[in-house]
Every structure is written in C-alpha cells, then in structure tokens.
C-alpha cells in the first residue's frame, strides 16, 4: 500500500488583477500569482528579513469566476488545492516546465476595509469560518454586490 497526498494551503496577496478567460469550449479559467511571505533565518540562526515567494495558481470554472469577481491586486486570499507540474515544447522546440497550484477553494482572509487591526474576517459565519468557494460544490454562493460600505456590519 502506498500513500499519495497532494494538498496545499496558501495565504498571501494577489500580485496583479486577475483576468478571467475562457477556453475554446467555454470553461472559465484564471491564472494568477500569490506573494507569500516566509522568514529568512541567517547562518547564525537569528531571525532575518522576510522574503516573499511568488507562487503561480490556476483556478477553473466557478472557483475562477468567484476569484475574478471578489479579489483584486493586493487582496489577501487563502487558497487550497494541489501542486501540479506540466511540461511542453515551446515554439523553438525547447522543453519547458511549470509548477503551479490548482486551486480547489478560495477564501477571504481579511475584512473588506483592509483594517489590519481587525481580526474579523470578511463574511464570517457564527462560528468564525470565512466563506469559501469550492469547484466541487453544486452552485455558487449567493453573494450580493454592495455599492457602499455604509450598510455592512463591520
């Protein structure tokens, strides 16, 4: 018996406005990258400067549509999914490689006001769980667009 596990959870900030695209067959797809901080430990084991990794993510169908509607450059996001590797030959016949995260779910991780002093997540339920969207779910969540923040409870 062998063990196979490929699960990723990332939280960071989107590096550019996501652009929703469609495949020739009409399937929604979204490619973007997330800047994720990591601590740098110097040779003498002291805490050093923070460094960022820029991780490529691809989302499909309803998950792609959800991200393109509610997230922009600089938005904090948490995605869960799996690591995928691909290879192909470019126009010059060179072999190319890509490693990316295929997002199954995307979640809000901060309030809409971006108030860093607030610990409340945007749209949390009574148990503190942030809303997420999974491409495995039947239908998209019923989020409403608000033109102003005046009627929001946070």
- Angle, alpha carbons 105-31-89 (nearest 5°): 125
Q: Are 153 and 124 in contact (CB under 8 A)?
A: no
- What pLDDT score does 124 carry? 32
Per-residue pLDDT tens digits for 100-119: 999 999 999 887 665 443 33
140 found inside a domain: no
| Residue 101 in domain | yes
- CB count within 10 Å of CB 112 equals 14
Report the CATH number at residue 22.
2.40.50.140
Question: What's the distance, Cα to Cα, between the start and end of the chain in Å?
Answer: 50
Q: What is the pLDDT of residue 101?
A: 97
pTM above 0.85, yes or no: no
Residue 114 lies in a domain: yes
On whether residue 118 sits in a domain, the answer given is yes
Domain ranges, residue 73 = 8-39+47-134
Residue 1 confidence (pLDDT): 72
Q: Quick check: 82 and 102 in contact, CB under 8 A?
A: yes
Query: How far is residue 102's CA from residue 88's CA, in Å, rounded to a whole number?
Result: 18
Per-residue confidence (pLDDT) for residue 110, from 0 to 100: 81
116 found inside a domain: yes
Mean pLDDT of the chain: 78
* Total count of domains within the chain: 1
Q: Is the pLDDT of residue 26 over 70?
A: yes
């Amino acid at each position: 018996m062998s063990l196979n596990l490929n699960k990723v959870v990332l939280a960071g900030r989107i590096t550019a406005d996501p652009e929703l695209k469609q495949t020739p067959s009409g399937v929604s797809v979204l490619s973007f990258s997330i800047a994720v901080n990591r601590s740098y430990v110097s040779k003498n084991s002291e805490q050093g400067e923070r460094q960022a990794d820029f991780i490529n993510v691809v989302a499909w169908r309803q998950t792609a549509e959800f991200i393109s509607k509610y997230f922009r450059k600089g938005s904090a996001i948490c995605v869960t999914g799996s690591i995928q590797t691909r290879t192909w030959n470019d126009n010059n016949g060179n072999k190319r490689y890509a490693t990316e995260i295929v997002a199954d779910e995307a979640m809000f991780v901060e309030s809409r006001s971006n108030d860093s002093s607030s610990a409340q997540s945007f749209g949390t339920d009574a148990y503190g769980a942030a809303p997420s969207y999974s491409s495995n779910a039947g239908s998209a969540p019923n989020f409403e667009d608000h033109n102003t923040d005046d009627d929001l409870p946070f």
